[in-house]
Structure 1
Amino acid sequence: AAFAGEPVNLTCVASGPPEPVEVLWWLGGEQKGDFTPSPSCFFLFSVKSVQQQDAGKYWCEVEYHGRIISSEPAWITVEGVPYFVVEPKDVAAFAGEPVNLTCVASGPPEPVEVLWWLGGEQKGDFTPSPSVLFVKGVNDSIKFYCEAKNTRGISVSRTGTVHIKVRPDSPQDVKVHHVSDLNITLTWSPGFTGHSQLSTCTIQVSKGPGKKVKLPDVDVVVPPFQHVFEGLSSYSNYSVRIRCDNEVGSSPFSPWVDFHTPEGAPSAAPKNFTFELSEHQLTLSWAALDQEELRGRLLAYKVQWNQGGESQDPLLFKDNVARLSGAGRFFNATFQVAACTMAGCGPWSQPVLVMPVSAMQAQTQRGHMWVGLLFGLLVATMVGLLLIVLVRNRGKETQFGSAFAASGTDVPVSFTAARSFNRQFPEPPESTLDSLGINSDLKAKLQDVLISERLLTLGRMLGKGEFGSVREAFLKSENNSGQKVAVKVLKTDINSSSDIEQCLKEAAYMKDFHHPNVIQLIGVSLHKRAQQRLPVPMVILPFMKHGDLHTFLLMSRFGDEPFTLSQQILIQFMLDIARGMEYLSSKNIIHRDLAARNCMLNENMSVCVADFGLSKKIYSGDYYRQGSVSKLPIMSTQHRAMW
């Protein structure tokens, strides 16, 4: 035993061969230093000023030829002023709520007694440790500590505080992150918690400039102090503020934080689409979209028109009125209009058919005539039915019994055939790849993407080329759902198997493409032609809402109503094309006809590299040699691609 502050020495003697050994000291399972070599068998462990934390069981270990030998243990007992095993801790309570405070101190020497101090005043006398102080309740924060006494002296504990629980302060650092046209991520930091854990926070959002419209409050369980707010409107001004709650009540709201959501494509088509046709001019007009439907800053109204079953170049206008000269050329044409923002174009309006006034009046007169005929037919039918009922009720008798069915008798069952059959010209069977005369490898590759012709409904023509045309179409799936697609149709006057095989090779290439900037194959279909040996192959591709990049860029600069494309958008177009071509290069494909006309814009304004009719696959090596005669576009082909 030793008093605190005194020096203490422990010795360890090892008997054995007179050769150097190493010793290691331990205190209660804790290593004290490293192995200490010594030329003798006498080892010393010294503590210059022993303290309470040095008390405990000690022993030494000797390593001899890889073997550890442990000594008998020795104990150091330190006598001094008491030390605290449990010191007072801060506590939080409601105003007037009772609180228990605990203090535990130990020797040696024993016994140890404890005295409490609360708010600077002594509470009672010394009592044996451990000691608990019962506080009936306070209305304000108050400090406390305890003293521990034995025969060696007195120790004083840390000072604790009894806090009174109050409402929290308002949240801080409210920030809006990851703003999109539909949602935001909101983060904040809690303020002073009021000595009570926060449980929930309430988010208030208002919309619109000036007199704002308050949206429903959102309650969030915390932590974490963040929330994803969904269901917002595009291109709109919002403000947000937050308050938080603990078990006492709610904090004040934080200051309003303003933010603005980006643009989106319009959600509705222009309404009230009408036309006026004069001798020299066609005037189209429609109702402008409100801001909620527009979902962005209006770039232009896009007018598409169709004449004779063929789609014409679209027109762009800044206002909701279009004036077109040369009225006669628009007879029997159909027009549609859509609004466009930086994020894309919205849905098309219902089509309007342009007709001369005289034709419309004649059509109206014919309509009135048909209404009169239908009304007369309806009256005649009703009179006939009334006569039949009267005749049946008379129940005329003949020598063979009742000539009319009496009431209550069974009604004969009639049926209509669900389908009629033409015995002279039966329906032709579905075409297969076997009927094309193509090589077996190409046939095997396209077999799993062959789509029945009955699932396709062809629409208007989107464009023409040397080998065929591209048409808008509707592809119906087996579960009766469907999607709008684009279909490349080979010319019907091409009857060569080699030309058909060249068309299908393009589809075979695209089957393996899976990249957002390279157009992907949906499938291949075969159109059976009457009295023709070979069917017409049709390649089914995704519908590209904004057409080819060449036309889009021309319309932005030289259209009737030009619009501005920012440098950021143009750079994005270039990056999209570069990513697509990089992907094709990784697939060992050389395009040989990369041009703006062969780059398509989808509904998200992303560019997809398309038209692989002249593409070639390099199966080995890093170079390609043109070994056969094929048609190449002279104006857009680099010299190194032509030779």
Structure 2
Amino acid sequence: MEHMPAVLVLLALLGAAFGENDYHFMENPSNITSSLGKDIVLRCSVKVKEIFPDVEWLHNGEPLEFADINQIQMPWDEEDEWLAISELSIPSMQLLDSGHYRCSVTVEGEEILSEEAYLELEGLPIFLEEPQDLHTYPDQPFNLSCHAQGPPDPVYVIWLQDGAPLNSLNDVLALTPSFLEIRGLNKSSLISCEAHNAKGVTTSRTATIKVLPEKPRDLQLLSQSPTELEISWEPGRSGVHPQYVCTVQASLPHSGFSTHPHHKIYNQNLNVPPHSHVIGSLTPYTTYNVRVACLSSEGVSHWTDWVAMETAEGVPAGPPENVTVTTNGTITIVRWTEPQSPINGILQGYKLAYRIKELEEVVVDAGLTYKDILEIHHPEDLTVRVASYTNAGDGPWSDPVTVSIKYDASTPFSSAVVKVNAAPLFSWHWWYVALAVAVAFFCAFCIAIFLARIRKKETRYGEAFEPTVEQGELVVHYRVKKSYSRRTTEATLNRLGISNDLKEKLRDVMVDRHKLALGKTLGEGEFGSVMEGQLNQDDYILKVAVKTMKIAICTRTEMEDFLSEAVCMKEFDHPNVMRLIGVCLQNTENEGYPSPVVILPFMKHGDLHSFLLYSRLGDTPLFLPTQTLVKFMTDIASGMAYLSSKNFIHRDLAARNCMLNENMNVSVADFGLSKKIYNGDYYRQGRIAKMPVKWIAIESLADRVYTTKSDVWSFGVTMWEIATRGQTPYPGVENSEIYDYLQQGNRLKQPPDCLDGLYELMSSCWQLNSKNRPSFDTLYSELEKIIKNLPPIKDPEEILYVNMEDASSPLSEELGELGAVGGQDAKDLGDDLFFKAGPVTAEVHHSENSNRYVMCPAHETTRLLGTTTSTEHPSYSSELEEGTVEEVVTSRSSRQ
């Protein structure tokens, strides 16, 4: 500080020496036009004489306090002159960074300014406000807003509902900010907006507008009993989404609805219609609050208001307490107290019953008092009991009290010996019954052991040897009492060590391996092969398809699981579910467990995917009308509804796993039994295994969780396969990209000739929340309605089927009769078929984060007034149908 005056004097002398200062800017900042996210550098330089000034940057006339400024100073050509260079760096250009910039230098109190430069931001529109998700009710109006800005301006907005534009660029709605007024919807919709400016188009997030059911109306009590309330209600409107479940709740007043056991709550989910219900297990003469809410595929309605309802009176729950008897030989006084158990109504009084020795019992009404006086002269062995009653009837009687009199004339009332008659703890009558049952069980056990030994001997040796003399020689006859199949099967099962109960259930499932003749191979995959075979029945030979497994069974538990599954599947009886003929066990070279062989019906026309592919890409393409395609879908939905009712999860539903019989009816195949075998490798977590990722539900890709609703997702993809006549789902999307593609909200696009109602139905199968997907029963009903509403086929003679057994067909040769039986094992050959059959054109969408995409008119696509003009995209061959879940997970992890 002490040197500051000297410095000021020096500056003054220098100023006087040079006259007016020689500061001036050699380089001024330049005008720049940039776009969002780019890095910008502004530069200026000033020439000075021996002085090192600080160059300051101004933004719209205000100093930049926290800017990234780099300043250097270097000698100039002339003596005693310096050049100060300052650079302003702006990383990742944002909208607030645009404006006027200039440099400023202050020397001797004088500010010197550079020329002003303008930093302009141009690019695609930026959304300040986007449509948000909304829950609404049928025909209820609501508003959505969309606000975007440039530069460059102006920005126009086009609203889209389910992909269809609602306005044009010349419409009033195109002015930003734009407010969309919806007068009401009857079905859930997806609404987004597009912002247009001179640089291109930006798409907002997609808002999901769910149409929820209105809350039920007119909740009322129909009838009541001591433990039940019968109620009814009217369902609220739900648009096109039917209500299929309603929830009824009942609670005690002032307790609310909680899970506390003392609140005696009632919570029940009901399938509707009918819109009525009987609430049971209630307490008599009690007021309950009741409410109802209903559920559609889109969500849950609001609850109705609580409605108070009262159960009818009941009888008392317990007998009166503390029954005592006193007597003087002539007068007997009986006393008691009120029951401790609930009265369940309004107490009307007490009834007293008494009996002397073997005389008939007498019942008297004692009213609301707690004692009664009996005038009985010298009673002997008096028995008394008491009960309370309400308007609903008598409650339980108290335990009988027996009084033996010991009379003493010196006292007005003698004491009495009170004996309570209790039921005996032991009864000879029941002991005899128990003894007889025990003896019967012991005899049955002995007989079972005896028969088991005889059966084991018969299985090993047949009937006892019977030596006889024939033609002078000793001959031993050996006649097998059981069939060869039975003996061989039982011997095999005995070696496996499975339970006797399971062996008994396998009577109609197991088939002797020697009765099965194998023919040519129909298809071979990674986990097994499918072969043509002949099963020798007692009276005829049946042509079958034989499925052999390459997966080894290593433990007794795995074998029991496999055979238990076979027992269950043998009971399946549905025209749209592949029937299991039987299972046999084929001994292997090692001494481990035998290899399972599954026997299925031979399906003449092969699998559905090959049939659809041939109809489109064969030498003589066939026209399949919509009626036929929907019929295929209906058959599959019917079969899957049956399987889901049996609590079976398919996990690999696809067109390749559905078979066509001689009547062109579709049957669901390749389920259950093979999946139990594949549990070792095919679906095991943590193992690299091939899986049909393009058919698997999004939650199954993420968590390996399979439910009936994940089968519904696969059914939607199968419907898309049928509607496109065998195309591979998600053309142009790699298997490793499927999870991210679905997570961003993308789904399969509507096929060109697919009905709107049909596409809406398959889209409902791809709801992100599995609970919102329809059941197979609902899908079957909706498909039946679609078939009924379709016009009749005009020219039925043209509706032909493909004979997959035609050896002259080139496609049949390529398939190698692969479709004789469906399933995972056979489909690997089908993957190569897609490349041989020819390319399938696919539209490629480039997606960014948050479901956004950018279209630049100068390069790819221009969208004006709802029309699209695109540059040509290359054709894409269908991708492999399968991938590994590990690929999907690895791809997702790398992105994260």
Asked if these proteins are the same fold (TM beyond 0.5), I'd say no
Which structure is larger by alpha-carbon Rg, 1 or 2?
1
Higher share in helix: 2
Q: Which has the higher contact order (CA 8 A, sep 6+)?
A: 2
Higher share in strand: 1
